[in-house]
Each structure stands twice: as C-alpha cells, then as structure tokens.
Amino acid sequence: MSTSTDLNRSVLADSPNTWRERSDRPPAIPDTLRPPVGASLTERQRALWQRHGIRRERAQAHMAQAFDPERGLPVARSRTVLAFLGGLLRRRGLLVVLVVLANALTAVAGLAVPMLLGRLVDEAAADGIDLAEATTGLVLLVTVVLVTQAVMMFLARWSGALLGQGVLAEAREYVIRAVLRLPLGRVENASTGDLVTRVTRDVGAMSRSVRFAIPEFIIGTITVLLTLVAMAVNSWFLTLPVLVLLSLAVIQVRRYLREAPAGYLTEGATYSQINTTLTETVEGVRTVEALGLQPVRRAAAGDDIEVSAQAERYGLTLRNLLFGVMDTAFSLPRVVTLVLGAWGYGQGWLTLGQITAAMLYVEQFYAPFDRLVGTIDELQVGVASTTRLLGIAEVPAGRTPGTALPSGRDLRGQDLRYAYREDHDVLHGIDLELQPGERLAIVGPSGSGKSTLGRLLGGIHAPRTGSVQVGGVELTELPLQALRAEVALVTQEHHVFRGSVRDNVVLARDGAPDEEVVRALRTVDAWDWVSALPEGLDTELGSGNLVLTPAQAQQVALARLILADPHTLVLDEATSLIDPRTARHLEGSMSALLTGRTVVAIAHRLHTAHDADRIAVVIDGRIAELGSHDELLAADGEYASLWRAWTS
C-alpha cells in the first residue's frame, strides 16, 4: 500500500510537467510546409508545388489508416457509401423516375428555344418570306415552350426536394440507430470531439448534399447531356469545340475525384481534433487554472488550427486547379465555335441560323455544366462526411445476443480481468458470487477498479477473460432489453434529456402511468420539488428549458431506476452529487423498495458499506478483503483503516 502511495505522490508531483514539456515533441507543422522567406518568384512557385505534394502525402497517409484505426472510430469506404445511397434511391424508385423525367422535359423545353430562334434567323435571311407572319407564329410557339418549361421546372424542383428530404430523413435515422448501438467501451475510447463532429458537422454536410447536391447533380447531368445532343442535332461540326475542350476538362475532373476524398477526410479529422482539444480544455478548466496550463492549452489549440489550415489548403489547391481548367473549358468554346461557324458559313456548310443556335447552346451549356462541377465538389464533401458517419455503423457490436434466458437471479463473476489498453489490466482475476437479495458494498480508493467492476457486473463491458453470468447466462449474450430487465446500472454520471419531467422518467419503461411516475419520484424524495414546478410533470427540461441542479438530475436518474424495476441493481456512487444528509435519507427511503433485490453499491461514503450484507474492498484491481462490516473491523485490515479515517 505504501509503495502505491509513494508512486501516486511522485506521479502527482510531476503531472504538471507532462503537460508543459513540449520541447521533445515534433512540431505540429514541419518546416517544409512553411513558405520560404526571401525567395525568388520561381523558387516560391517550386516550393508551392512541393508543399502541395507533402500535403497530398499527409492526406493519403491519413486516409490509409482511417479505415481501420488503432483507436477511435473508423470511416467507411467509398463503395459502402455508394451502396448505401443506392439503396436509399432504390427504395424511392418511382420518385427517382419522376425527378429524371421532369428534369428531362424541362431541359428539352429549354433546348427548343435556341433552335426556334435559329430557324427565325434563317427565315429572316431568306427571300420571299412574310417575316411578320413567321415571327408571330414563332413567338407563340416560344411562349408555349417557356410556359411548359416553367411547369416542368416546378415539378422537377418539387419532386427533387421531396426525394432529398425523404433520403435525408432515412439517412439520419440510420445514423442515429448506428450511434445508439455503439459499444460503450468503443465510445469511451474514441475522442469526444470526433463523435461530436461526426454527428454535427458531418450530418450537416450530408444533409446539404442529400437535399441539394443530389437533385442538382441529376438536373445538371440531364441538362448537359441533352444540350450536347441538341448541339449535335443542330450541327455536329459546331459541337466539336465543346467536345474537345470538355474531354480535356474531364481529365482534370477525374484527377480531382481521385485526390479529393483523402483531402476532405483529412479536413474532417482535423475538425474533430479541434473539438477534442476544446472540449478537454473546457471540461478540465479547473485543472488548467490550478496548474497554470493556460499557455499550454492555447498552444495545443493553435497547433490543431494550424494542422487544419494545412488540410484546408490542400483542398483549396485542388479546387483552384479544377476551376481554373473549367474556366478555360468554358471560355474557349465561345471563340472557337464562332470562328468555325464563320468559316463554315463562308464554305456554305452552315447557315446563320445554325451558327446562332450553336452560340446560344454554348452559352446555355455553361450554366448547367458549371453547376454540375460545383455539385460534384459539394458531393465530394458530402461523401467524405457520409463515410465518417457510416464508419460508425461499421464498428462491431459490443454484444452478440443469444436465445438463452436466465434460469435464476444469482449473479456470478469468475476470473474477471479487464483492460482499457492492451496489456494493462485494471482488474486482476476477480471472483465474486452474489445471492439473490444480497447487498454488496464495494469500497476502495479512487482508481482501484471499483467502477470498472461495477460496469462488468452491470453488463456494460465484457471482461477480457472470465465471465459474468446471471441465472447461468452470460450478460453479454442477453438481448439489451432482456439484460435491463435483469440488471440495471446507475452511475455517478447522469443526463437530463430535452423533454418533460415525465418523459425523462419513463425512459426506463415507456408508457408507465403517472401514478407510477409519481411513486418513483416520491421514493427518491423528488416529488416535493417536482410538484412545485409551474407545470409539474409536464415541465420541460433540458437545453433551453429548466436546468436542474446536479442533485435533482441524479434524483431523476434514480427514479428511472426504480421504474425499470430490475431484480439486480448496480449503484456506482449513485448519490455522489447529493449532500451527505440528503444522500443518507435518500438511501434510507429506497431501502423498502430494494428489499428482496440484489444490490451492488459502489461508494466512497462508508455508511453505505455499514448497511450492506457484505463488503468487498478493492485495492489495485483485486479484492483485498471480503466480509461483513463487523468481520472486517475485527480483521483490522484495509477496511478498518478506512472506517477509522471516515469516523474520526
């Protein structure tokens, strides 16, 4: 014990230095990514391309390990995303057909106008034509075409919005289900910033892509293809400039599509790291102030932002190269088409009407193709975000439910070992057997493994070795709903969800009547303050509504436990945030309800241990002592020392 205490003291004495010593760490950004100072224009250009190459290598290296990371959450591969989106669209096949047809008719109507104007030019140039009569007829025809185009465009936009919103709703539900099924151990190993970024920024990016980019991509593709067809029908000769320059643009688009995914995935990862550092600083603000770590935390945030800026610059360079080629592909066809038209007209191959229609088509081709390229960029962002979201669904399930059901209520743990990191066990071969109705208190110093043992007994984690069984069935092989009917865990961590008081309590048993909700609140001494609220059980809680004190929030969590009514309860310092007098009274008022149930209570307050049938003293991941209060006092060991310190 003294050796452990000396070690803890030495670690605590040196802990500020583990934050402050940064000189031995490599810089966040290597010097090769910094622009040269005092270099010539040629040298700066060469250095620019060298930095772009280094950023490409960093992005590709990140993507290579992102699919199967050692820690944290993975990302899905592109084929998984395409299969996922394909499934969403297949389930809305009729709507997809409607979107395609409506946009095709809109494009056809719009493409008819340049051809009609070209015919008008030819008729005006011809001799013996009544120009007024021809013009009147064409104006009426153009009017009909434009009205038809407006109607079809409305139908296309409406059906596209309906498709996008439907796909988005199903995709969000899928992501929420994936998040909720994540094993808690994997969630705890992943950084908070990563998970928060995925369910906020990445969901937003996916939302924009689904609602706008997918419909726009369909519209742009159809319009571009039909415009090329109309140009070829008008004059294949005048279509050649567009086709040639379009082919050159496609080469750059393919290069962009090949390199952009790694860039956008890296950007998303840097945003996660920024959020992680910010969250850690905010949550540990008291520690930061106590140890004077403000400069260190500011430097860490600055490093994260600088890394993110490099990732952003890589994506920005890719977009600049893409849009530079696109601008060239858009501008040159106008000049080349006009020159070829003039030459063809001089040779008698083309009419003025064909040249007019071709120039109008070239102008009309610009807008949808520009939108299509911009949409492809937006889709790349959406696909990168979706790969991060679907990566959540690729995390293996934490449990494999079987069909066997418990034959009794006895809870037994054998040879329990658990490690948060490989080769670093925090529990070392614990054996523990509880009889139905027994109350066991687990005590010990902080960091001894009490909460980890409670999580294993509550079925939250599977042991690395050994087994935890209830009624002869492994806890991790029980379906989650069946498990919670057998064993429930209430920790010192709690959460108040956005909703009414009633909604927060009946989470434990949906549909429970108000009488049972009130009884549960009375049992935990919460009904007095709940009944005094302006709307009682209907009072809204959570973000933007009434904020509960930590003690009130913990009482709500305990009321959920009472309503769930399992036969085995694991209380992990469940009253830690309530003052000692209230906690003592609360535990006394719960005593009648807990009678006949197996109770495992993990607490620092030893009066809980005094009331227990047996007490397990956990030291360094092992049960050092096990017995009743009187037996352990008589043994004059670890528990006796703790009791004397508590009562002195």
Q: Which residues are tagged catalytic?
A: 573
User: Residue 342 phi/psi, 5° resolution?
Assistant: -65, -40
Residue type for position 260 = A
> What CA–CA distances, in Å, run from 366 to 108, 144, 153, 226, 360?
16, 24, 19, 13, 10
Give whole-number Cα distances, 427 to 349, 424, 604, 621, in Å. 88, 9, 19, 4
Both tokens assigned to 397: 């399930």
SS3 of 205-271: HHHHHHHHHHHHHHHHHHHHHHHHHHHHHHCHHHHHHHHHHHHHHHHHHHHHHHHHHHHHHHHHHHH
The residue among 601, 617, 643, 558 whose CA lies nearest residue 438 is 601
Burial class (CB in 10 A: 0-12, 13-18, 19+), 179: middle
CA distances from 86 to 214, 261, 264 (A): 12, 19, 22
Q: Return the half-sphere exposure (C-beta side, CA atoms, 13 A cut-off) of residue 241.
A: 21
360, two tokens: 């109008």
Residue 647 neighbours by CB under 8 Å, 6+ apart: 606
DSSP letter string, 567-590: SEEEEESTTTTS-HHHHHHHHHHH
Residue indicated by tokens 């993975």: 74
> C-alpha angle 285/287/290, rounded to 5°?
110
Longest dimension (CA), the chain: 125
| Per-state percent for the chain, helix, strand, coil, to nearest 5 | 70, 10, 20
523 with 562: CB under 8 angstroms?
Answer: yes
Residues 6+ apart with CB under 8 A from 492: 572, 573, 574, 576, 577
Q: Work out whether strand 465-470 and strand 411-421 pair parallel, antiparallel, or are unpaired.
A: antiparallel
Q: What is the DSSP letter of 63?
A: H
How far is 546 from 549, CA to CA, in rounded Å?
A: 10
| Cβ pair 574, 451 in contact under 8 A | no
Token representation of residue 19: 């934050």
The residue assigned the tokens 């949906």 is 510
Across the strands, what pairs with 623? 618
Strand-strand pairing, 614-619 and 622-627: antiparallel
Cα 648 from Cα 642, distance rounded (Å): 10
Q: Is 459 helix (H, G, I), strand (E, B) or coil?
A: coil
